[in-house]
Structure 1
Amino acid sequence: MNRIRIVLATALLLIISAAGVRAQSVPLLAAPPSAAFESLKTFYPVSSFESIEPTLPVPAAGRSLETGLTGEQLFQELHKTLAVTNGPVPTYKQAKVYMYSKADNITCNGGPGIMTFYSQICVNGSSSNGNDYHEQGDQNGDGIVDKIVNAEHLWPQSYFNSALPMVADLHQLASTFETPNSRRSNLKFTKVSKPIYSTSSGSKLGVDGFEPADAVKGNVARAMLYFLTRYYDRSIRKGMNYNDFWTLRVPMFLEWNRQDPPDANERRRNDLVETFEGKRNPFIDDPSLADRIGEAVFSAH
């Protein structure tokens, strides 16, 4: 708008000068503003002023929402925002390279490294290849020394046939040691009272489900809520008991989201993933969105 005023004033002086009148002898507002603007159309078409009006960006999901939205309306607003694609979909290989070297690479043990998701053990390094991250002895106390770190899909990829974009969506991927990842397999998340496998961090395998460590329960919940909100209308339920895997777990995920709020590393990761794939997890930006949507709406989808 300041640029428009400058252009108007400059052009008006040119018109006055061209008419042979000394600029300082004519009051700048001698003609009504509307008349001055009409005279300028000869030199600057109206369309030229319209074209320099700023275009406001579409708010990223979770950063700017109508505060009055709740329930299904809020769910659909988030879904609509997350469904917009702004560029090419990353490949699964590209996603893993970025995850190991950037998104999940933090400072731990005095240097760069990955904090393995289910074990909460730091493995130092800066490689983009999970095969380069090795457990030093049985650090996580599960009785196995893992030779690699790999990618866990919190919503198991077998339930959507490893299809893009879901398989490469870093908001639902996590860097884990190979053994706890394989033990979880495609089982539901649940609360385990009698573990048949566990890590020193508190991740536990039961006879029909897997419980993540307390340190990442909120992370799991927000990733699952994100995945369902973004992809509920895709083929993401192949071969599963959906009621057992999702519907009955919604109250637990909402509880975990409240009990374990985002920490600095989770917020940092959200920023980095947005840089990579152009999307944020809105439940990290504002965990209260989950309860504003509510159990009934999540369960219905």
Structure 2
Amino acid sequence: MGGVALDLGSPISCSGPPHPSEDETPNNQLRRENADLRERVARLEEEVRAAENLHLRNRIAQLEEDVLAARWEAAHDPLTGLLNRAGFLDHLVGLGWDKVGAYLMVDVDDFKQVNDLFGHDIGDAVLSTVAQRLAAVEGLIIARIGGDEFAGVVIGQPTGWQRFEAVAKEVVRAIAVPMEIRTFLLQVMASVGVAHIDQPASFDETHRRADAAMYRAKELPGRVARWTPTLDNSETEQHKALASTVFRSGSLPDGTGEALPVKIPRQRSQRQIG
């Protein structure tokens, strides 16, 4: 019977399917994926830190702006933008009282009549215009201390009255220029009292002297008066007490000024007050 011929010359392979390369093993693939994930997480964390730092810087910048705005508001009058009472005092402290040559008190005469005749909106516009003109007077540091009253100082050595008198006259002249407020042409007048600091005096005493001179100025054609000791002889005790406490009281009482008649020269939109 015939048999099956076997070829015993060729070796029989007992190995299984070929092994994958080392880079293709599941463990290495997982390690690569984890490395990619860690890199993405690191990038995201860096972006978060950058955003947080930017937000923090922006927040700090906003807070600094808020602090500056609050300080400005605390030291300035919201209507006119001038220094207010507290800001004026702080400014003088920083400046040094020995640098001041003269102290001025400025009062808009019969300002109540402006509010009564034209309303408070017009009155506010008049005060704002007066403030702008006072701020433009050369050599004068000015503040609104309440209502229609302003206080100012002139820097320099008190070597002569003429220089300070010239500043006071310029204040009167500047305020007296007619102003166009909406449909009205208004003219307001001001009185200026000057305390010439030619001898040592406290701030409160200097303010009282300038205030007394201001009331004297209301009786003079030029509306400028300089304090002299003779003014104290005619000043009432009530007015002395008011002037000495005006900066400490926090507000100015109403009805402390003299009431002069309102002059209406023409029957049209032009009005002269004071």
TM-score, normalized by the shorter chain, greater than 0.5? no
Q: Give the TM-score taking structure 1 as reference length.
A: 0.21
Q: Give the TM-score taking structure 2 as reference length.
A: 0.22
Q: Which has the higher strand share?
A: 2
